[in-house]
Structure 1
Amino acid sequence: MARLLPHPILSPTLACLWLLLVNSITPGQVFLGLLLGWMIPLLTLSFWPEAVTIRKPLTLLRYIGLLLIDIIMANFTVARLILGDPDRLKPIFVELPLDLTSDLAISLLANSITLTPGTVSARLSEDRRYLLVHALNETDPDALIATIKRRYERPLQEIFELC
């Protein structure tokens, strides 16, 4: 079964994305979405360095919801900061120590940070133990690190790694 459907979560996700992109749920588009959702993971299997194992699917759903809320709220915060007095911004770089070891989890953490307006992941250290993060307006680097670890890194660790 794993050879025929190598990524059982990615396949329906791709099919749904296709339907959203074409903005149609006609039988032909549903069939094409399912076909693409099945073929893309099958044809790209050799590019995946490791098998993806989601250990806690409900935690993944909560994580996605939390990330979407954070993105929306951060958009308002950044708009307020930029439309206010940009000279009062206090940008900083912080080195975020990583507890994650999985390449996928580290990549998702870096992308989550970058997707949230006001923060950008800038660089991963050679030893993959630190992630350099830029924040648009932060006065307490320790609070930023604690927030990222609590809101993003720990759930990703629960979802993708053995804790």
Structure 2
Amino acid sequence: MNLFFVNLFIALGYMGVQGQFSLYGLGTGFILGYLALWITQPLYGSSRYFSRLPRAIRLAAYFLVELLLSNLRVFWDVVTPGQISRPGIVGVPLNAETEMEILLVANLISLTPGTLSVDLSEDHRTLFVHVMFLDDPERFRKTIREGLERRVLEVTR
């Protein structure tokens, strides 16, 4: 059985025993279940679950920081009298190969204010992104490749 589902089952069991039917109870049970599974890892062999979960948390943290910074930048552009935006469309070469990897990268880009995934090339190697604040296209490509895409690939591979 997938260790994530075992961990989720442990978390739900913890919630039932403690009577804490809340997000806090689920989170606490999930952390305790993760620790229990990590300690008992020699019983069922090594698993990628223990390396993927911290990577997924790092991806979520990275995305939340980028989301906050993008919101502040768009907010500042809206409330200031001048317009500081320099919109443009940039082709970002992708290292992502599977449809799931491309989908995650494209959707996380689109969820960030000021950017929108517009199109994907026919060979699935280039993602075209509309950027609200395009100062340097090469720096934007590097930010996507070394920031968001790298973290998505760490989680999915």
TM-score, shorter chain, exceeding 0.5: yes
SS in 1 for 2:63: helix
> 2: CA distance between counterparts of 1:108 and 1:93?
19
Does residue 83 of the first structure (1) align with residue 93 of the second (2)? no
Does residue 65 of the first structure (1) align with residue 96 of the second (2)? no
* Aligned position for 2:156: 160
Between 1:86-95 and 1:109-118, the stretch displaced more is 86-95
- Please tell me the residue identity of whatever aligns with 2:149: E
Deviation, structure 1 residue 102: 1.6
> 2: CA distance between counterparts of 1:83 and 1:100?
37
SS in 1 for 2:57: helix
Does residue 127 of the first structure (1) align with residue 112 of the second (2)? no
- Please tell me the residue identity of whatever aligns with 2:5: P
**C-alpha contact (below 8 Å) 1:91/1:136 kept by paired residues:** yes
Deviation, structure 1 residue 69: 1.5
Deviation, structure 1 residue 139: 1.6
> 2: CA distance between counterparts of 1:59 and 1:113?
18
* Aligned position for 2:146: 150
Does residue 101 of the first structure (1) align with residue 120 of the second (2)? no
SS in 2 for 1:89: coil
The structure with the largest helix share of the pair is 2
Unaligned runs of 5+ in 1: 17-23, 31-52
Change (3 A) 1:129 1:85: farther
Unaligned runs of 5+ in 2: 13-19, 27-47
Q: TM-score, normalised by structure 1?
A: 0.65
* Aligned position for 1:8: 5
Does residue 113 of the first structure (1) align with residue 109 of the second (2)? yes
> 2: CA distance between counterparts of 1:85 and 1:104?
41
* Aligned position for 1:34: none
Change (3 A) 1:62 1:140: same
Q: TM-score, normalised by structure 2?
A: 0.67
Identity across aligned pairs (percent)? 30
Deviation, structure 1 residue 8: 3.0
Report Cα offsets for 1:2-26 as digits up to 9, x if no partner.
6xx9x739x94xx99xxxxxxx928
CA-based RMSD: 2.7
How many residues align? The count is 123
> 2: CA distance between counterparts of 1:122 and 1:141?
16
Change (3 A) 1:88 1:77: closer
Moved over 3 A (4+): 85-88
Deviation, structure 1 residue 86: 5.4
Deviation, structure 1 residue 73: 1.7
**C-alpha contact (below 8 Å) 2:77/2:83 kept by paired residues:** no
> 2: CA distance between counterparts of 1:77 and 1:88?
10
